[in-house]
Amino acid sequence: MYYKIGERIEKFEAKNFDKIDFQYIAVIGSDEWIKTNKKFNMGIEWDINLDEITDTHAEVNIDSLTGTFSIPSRKNISGPKHNFAFALDEKGVVFIDDEGFAARIVENIARTKKYINPCLERFLYDFLESIIHRDYKIVEQYDVKLDRIEQDILDEETTASMRELADIRSELRDLRMHYAQLLDLSQELEENENEFFRENNERYFHLVFQRVQTLHDMTSSLADHTAQIRDLNQAQIDIKQNRIMTILTVVTSIFMPLTLITGWYGMNFVHMPELQSPLAYPIIIALSVMIFFGCLIFFKIKKWL
């Protein structure tokens, strides 16, 4: 598909491509790129394999700017990514996409945007903006989830929450890497090394850079929050263990003197006068009870219980 950049983004037939006098957008498959890349006159022979794309980046060539996009699916951040490539110069941009992801973005821009000052730079701004336009809400949803997990930990409902926390941490890491790569890409466009873009239009790329930077900072902050929640969970576990150890220590301390009494009178020496006294047994019982409650009162005063 070929589009003319005008007041609206409109399709056109690319029969006499060398004679066009306007900036354009092309969205083609990798097979078509191999067959027709020379007609774009970008001075490159680029045998791109879309299956081998692993990141988002841009490379400056003598007569063109080429690069790739690897965009996480917003429905499944850690799942398969949308991979496609691009090549551009001052005349237009070519997206090489077998999946149709880039085509859907271009179609949406063509349907919804109307330009006062149509130019390639403004279209690229809208294209990059379309990639991240829902991300603020997604990042806010992560914030809500983390607050809920933090409350679950405080309420001692940790098993499912910690599994969810691990998934969120992984997704935030993927998003942060994605934003870091978009930052590099927008910076490369803003530097305009080949002077493809008009100087007063470089601000569009700076706007994209600022918005992506905000998202990158937000995901970094949330990633730090996941580490704090993990530390909170460990602190809660330590508190539980300390509580258990305190109870065991108190129980042991209470029964130590009782064990001593039991051991002492379990020796059954012949010359133990207490064994002959009819009051010995109730006295030992009373003494044991006094020791038991005395220890409890002592531990309560010391706030160990």
Q: What angle do CA 20, 26, 28 make, to 5 degrees?
A: 135
**Cα(193)–Cα(199) distance, rounded to whole angstroms?**
11
High-pLDDT (> 70) share of the chain, %: 96
The pLDDT value recorded for residue 159 is: 64
3-state secondary structure (DSSP) of residue 255: helix
pLDDT-based confidence at residue 218 (cuts at 50, 70, 90): very high
Please state the rounded mean pLDDT for residues 34-46: 77
How many alpha carbons lie under 13 Å from residue 219 in its C-beta half-sphere?
Answer: 24
Please state the rounded mean pLDDT for residues 3-30: 82
**Cα(222)–Cα(91) distance, rounded to whole angstroms?**
41
pLDDT digit string (tens) for 61-117?
A: 888 888 899 999 888 888 889 999 988 888 888 899 988 899 999 899 888 888 888
Count Cβ atoms below 10 Å from residue 255 Cβ, excluding itself. Answer: 15
**Cα(20)–Cα(226) distance, rounded to whole angstroms?**
53
Q: Chain-wide mean pLDDT for the chain?
A: 84
Distances (CA, A) of 33 to 12, 71, 85, 262: 18, 21, 11, 92
The pLDDT value recorded for residue 178 is: 92
Output b/e per residue, 149-162; b: 16+ Cβ within 10 A: bbebbeeeebeebe
**pTM to 2 decimal places:** 0.76
pLDDT-based confidence at residue 213 (cuts at 50, 70, 90): very high
Please state the rounded mean pLDDT for residues 139-144: 90
Output b/e per residue, 107-125; b: 16+ Cβ within 10 A: bebbeeeeeeebbbbbbbb
DSSP 56: -
Q: Quick check: 231 and 149 in contact, CB under 8 A?
A: no
Residue type, 172: L
Please state the rounded mean pLDDT for residues 140-167: 80
The residue that leads in pLDDT, 305 or 92, is 92
Most confident listed range (28-42, 210-224, 252-266, 290-304):
210-224
Q: Quick check: 27 and 45 in contact, CB under 8 A?
A: no
Q: Which domains does the chain have, with CATH numbers?
A: 1-116 (3.30.460.20), 246-301 (1.20.58)
